[in-house]
Amino acid sequence: MRNGPHRWARRLYSAALYLSAPLIWQRVWREQVPTRSRRERLGSIPAATAGERCIWLHCASVGEVLAARPLIVALHGRYPQHRLVITTMTATGAERVAAIAQELAAASESDGKVSHHFVPLDFPGAPRRFIARLRPELALLFETELWPNLIAACDRAGIPVAVVNGRLSPRAFRRYWRIRPLLADALARVDWLAAKSRTDAGRFRRLGMPAARTTVVGSLKFDLEVSATVLAASQRLCQALGPRPVWVAGSTHPGEEAILLEAHARLRQHYPSALLILVPRHPQRFDEVARLCREHGLPLARRSRDEWPEARTAVYLGDTMGELLILYGAADLAFVGGSLVSVGGHNLLEPAAMGVPVLSGPALANFSDIADELRRARALVEVANGEALSATLLRLFDDEPERHRLAEAGQTVVAANRGALTRTLEGLETMLPE
């Protein structure tokens, strides 16, 4: 057990959590699967069976689970004697874990080797209870999931902790800088940081992560593998939609859909048959976005209801889970959301890996390193606002050779930057007991 340099900061943090408990419970109350007990939030999970070996990976939500998928698949294959437990904060993340578990079970006939729990809230007792019952041999925290009491519980139990695909956006760094004694105490207990870039590693070091326990491995997002099943489904959808102009807006946020719908309406003045496949980031907003489409006078079909986008349909609402790659691959162009509003963007590599030209707004703080790689290859088209977006859509739909060039450049960037998964697995090998 290591003593962090600022243990007092964690005591103050825990006291603040207790004072905020009603607000915290209100926030997580809706993030639940009906068949699961809310007591999981307090660490009350079934105890591991005697002799069972376990690796634990924590991802915040569905986006992180999707980004971690290559690592999940690799761990499942490399450590068949271990059960892989994945925790999330959200119910949508739980659903995505269940889907991956089913895929892996079907492929390997090893049902039960991947399972899910909700992560315990970071009150001091809940993480201790969770760790005592799960008894993992290794704890992996994905990207920025730095929960001080959870990390301290692992340290107290002698469980090595790795932060994988570690990243800190400028906004996250500023937020953590205000509580850096607390972060310094937590990071002193982290055994290995697999940072996705030198910039991210530097931000972690400024918060207290020892340089000797830090390695820059690159971004796991570049190791995205597109399965033959996804490719086939995407090709079938593309063929079914026919020769009409199709573009996707994926992972969109409040305030962004209205801009996109207005840009699409302007595009349809030149291309009356143009179809927008609109995929909101959060499923609880699907009905709200459907109403917004109708308010804009755009004929709508909803994928969740098996409604087909006919010739007069202007918007195809992708209101299903886990199908974004399929929808990206069926389009001529892809706009990645969270970038016309101050969210910081989402994964630009998903459409690039599917061979689709990538468009975004200017707010890309969460993916600045990936955006830089795409810019250097002239594989990213950035627009400042809705008017620029509609003009860019019109220009690119008029220029098929440029669409092909953008698509090829994006795929080249993805292929050239692979390798983070291999480097991450090599680092983790030194942390697992024989």
List, by residue number, the catalytic residues: 64
The rounded distance, in Å, linking the Cα atoms of 383 and 376 is 17
The rounded distance, in Å, linking the Cα atoms of 43 and 41 is 6
Q: Are 249 and 337 in contact (CB under 8 A)?
A: yes
Kindly report the three-state secondary structure assignment for every residue of the chain.
CCCCCCHHHHHHHHHHHHHCHHHHHHHHHCCCCCCCCHHHHHCCCCCCCCCCEEEEEECCCHHHHHHHHHHHHHHHHHCCCEEEEEEECCHHHHHHHHHHHHHHHHHHCCCCCEEEEECCCCCCHHHHHHHHHHCCCEEEEECCCCCHHHHHHHHHCCCCEEEEEECCCHHHHHHHHCCHHHHHHHHCCCCEEEECCHHHHHHHHHHCCCHHHEEECCCHHHHCCCCHHHHHHHHHHHHHHCCCCEEEEEEECCCCHHHHHHHHHHHHHHCCCCEEEEEECCHHHHHHHHHHHHHCCCCEEEHHHCCCCCCCCCEEECCCCCCHHHHHHCCCEEEECCCCCCCCCCCCHHHHHCCCCEEECCCCHHHHHHHHHHHHCCCEEECCCHHHHHHHHHHHHCCHHHHHHHHHHHHHHHHHCCCHHHHHHHHHHCCCCC
The amino acid at 181: P
Q: Bridge partners of 300? A: 315
Q: Are 67 and 6 in contact (CB under 8 A)?
A: no
Q: How far is CA 124 from CA 14, 15, 139, 149, 156, in A?
A: 7, 10, 17, 6, 12
Please state the length of the chain.
Answer: 434
**Side-chain half-sphere CA neighbours of 350 within 13 A:** 28
